[in-house]
Amino acid sequence: MRILIVDDEVIIRTGLCTVIDWKELGLELLPPASSAEEALARIPAEKPHILLTDIRMSGKDGIELAREVKKLLPDTEIVILTGYDDFAYAQQALREGVTDYLLKTSRPEEIIKAAMKAKQRILEKWEALKQENFQTAALRNQLLERLVTQGLGQEPSSVQEQLKLWFAQNGVQPDAAAMSPMSVLMVSASGWGDEPLARLLLGAAENMLFELLPAVTLLKHDRLLLVVRGPEGMSDDGALKQALQRVEQTLKCAVFAALGRAVDSYDGLKLSCGEAEYVFSFRGLVAARGLFAMDDVKDRQGGRTVCSQKEEAELSAILMSNHPPELRHWVNQKVRARMEEPSATAASVQAYLQSIVWSGHRWLDRVREGAADAGIAGNAKLREQTAPGEAHTMTFELADQPEEEVFRQLNSIMSSFHDAMADNRFPYIQKSIAYIQANLDQHLSLQQVAKFVHLNPNHFSEVFKRETGLNYIEFVTQERMRRAADILQGTQAKISEVAGLVGYEDIKYFSQQFKKHTGQTPSEFRQSSKD
């Protein structure tokens, strides 16, 4: 905070500058002025917050100085010093905006007290202005968010006029009564790292775009929303692209922007916002940076959304193997393939990634159920794992590396299972059950499974029956029928396809086995499941 002393007597100027330690009071002492005229010439550039001036000087006096200063800097605090104990002068000074009145004979502590009171009044003004600005900004943010999501019609007429004036003041509209085309623009900026730097970057981008474009802005959690002025086809406008490139070059970041259609009414901004939101959802799919509009994504109808039976079997085998590098390679391959599909949309990729994670949970659930039916589900760790029905729907950040989050989820499932198995008395029995469930579509001999768990077939057969209560063939058949029932309930696959998915080439034999275990043919079971 700066203070300027004005007095035409050099001894007074020097005394006021040296007797009081202004720096200790938190005030920056500007070079003193020897006249009102000198002070007025310097004030526009130096902008003092406190003016300490003599009232009687050659040329303009302190009251005339106070009057001129209040025109230039209305918030300046002015303290008058005079050698005349004249009440009429004091009254006139107060009318001109002087905030305090002291005699030159006042002791230093009285002058300090007056300066501190002036400083406090300025701080209070600043705080009030800060709060007012916060409240105004918060109100405008709320109004803008409601405008682009609900339209203008529901707002009171006074609010509508306030919004129109705001848009005109920021150059989005020529004036409050006119209407020109405008669009919603959504912008993200990346490259500075995680929170709070990411938030700081977005705020810096907002400040730059506000200066570069005729726009009103709203800073959201992960993006910046702007309403910009522009004609139809503004995605081809060089000024808009140049502004985004300027942000990238200045802030050393990557900018992705999604532009909604141009509309010629305030209520139309809802449509423009919805379009921009949809285009913005392709961030990370179409590109990591650049300006995009509806024409760039309108032909995308969506790729595959569900993990196939083959992929689920591959995943089950990998989870059973407890080999993280193999899991990471598989996840990277599958995720990248879906994201690079020309028809992929954010919704289709999100659904596919969720499907992969749910497949991992289904594998764990089948292992748990198989162990429970076999009477060996005593391990608390395995029972505590999340079943598919309990798994939360997740959102994967397509603009970053969604495969990392998918891998993390599946690796957690794999690690939990194998950690739990380490506590079992016969972990190889649980592993053999998981192996059987992962390969029900294959020929599964006792010797093959025994080899997988590194046991002699005879010894494995004996322990398997003792622990599960079923011999090997009975258990495999039971699991195949259980899987067939799940497929019949959850898909429209043909009976012949279902038979193949659970390891039967002979459809008639499969149907006989299924009816033996469920009391119904496959077709009857599927129909009863719908009723």
Domain coordinates of the chain in residue numbers?
2-124, 151-296, 364-402+411-530
205-211 LR contacts (CB < 8 Å, sep 24+): 205/247, 205/251, 205/253, 205/255, 208/243, 208/246, 208/247, 208/250, 208/251, 209/243, 209/244, 209/247
Q: Give percent above pLDDT 70 in the chain.
A: 88
Q: pLDDT class for 84, splitting at 50, 70, 90?
A: low
Least confident range from 179-183, 376-380, 477-481, 484-488: namely: 376-380
The DSSP output letter for 53 is: E
pTM of the model: 0.60
Look up residue 160 and give its two tokens.
Answer: 């509508």
Which distant-in-sequence residues (6+ apart) come within 8 Å of 480 by Cβ? 440, 502, 503, 504, 513
- Note the Cα 494 to chain centre separation in Å: 44
What per-residue confidence (pLDDT) applies to 248? Answer: 93
Q: Please give the average per-residue pLDDT across 477-500, as a whole number.
A: 90
Q: Please give the average per-residue pLDDT across 500-525, as a whole number.
A: 92
Does the pLDDT at position 73 exceed 80?
Answer: yes
Least confident range from 94-103, 155-164, 383-392, 423-432: namely: 383-392
Least confident range from 35-44, 76-85, 273-282, 424-433: namely: 424-433
| Distance from C-alpha of 94 to C-alpha of 499, rounded to nearest angstrom | 99
Does the pLDDT at position 405 exceed 80?
Answer: yes
What per-residue confidence (pLDDT) applies to 259? Answer: 93
**CA 48, 50, 55, 56: dihedral to nearest 10 degrees?**
-30
Q: Which element (helix H / strand E) includes 228?
A: strand 224-229
Residue with the larger pLDDT of the pair 224 and 84: 224
What per-residue confidence (pLDDT) applies to 378? Answer: 44
| CATH homologous superfamily for the domain 364-402+411-530 | Homeodomain-like (1.10.10.60)
Tell me the per-residue pLDDT of 122-178, one tens digit each, with 9 for 90 and over: 888 887 766 655 555 666 778 888 888 888 777 778 778 888 888 888 888 888 787
Which distant-in-sequence residues (6+ apart) come within 8 Å of 342 by Cβ? 300
Which stretch, 125-129, 310-314, 420-424, has highest mean pLDDT? Answer: 310-314
Does the pLDDT at position 425 exceed 70?
Answer: no
Does the pLDDT at position 379 exceed 60?
Answer: no
Is 42 in contact with 65 (CB distance < 8 Å)?
no
Work out the mean pLDDT of the chain and round it to a whole number.
Answer: 84
Q: pLDDT class for 279, splitting at 50, 70, 90?
A: very high
**Alpha helices per DSSP H over 306-345:** 309-321, 324-339
Burial of 6 per CB tally in 10 Å (0-12, 13-18, 19+): buried
CATH 3.30.830.10, domain 151-296, yes or no:
no
Q: Which CATH class is domain 2-124?
A: alpha beta
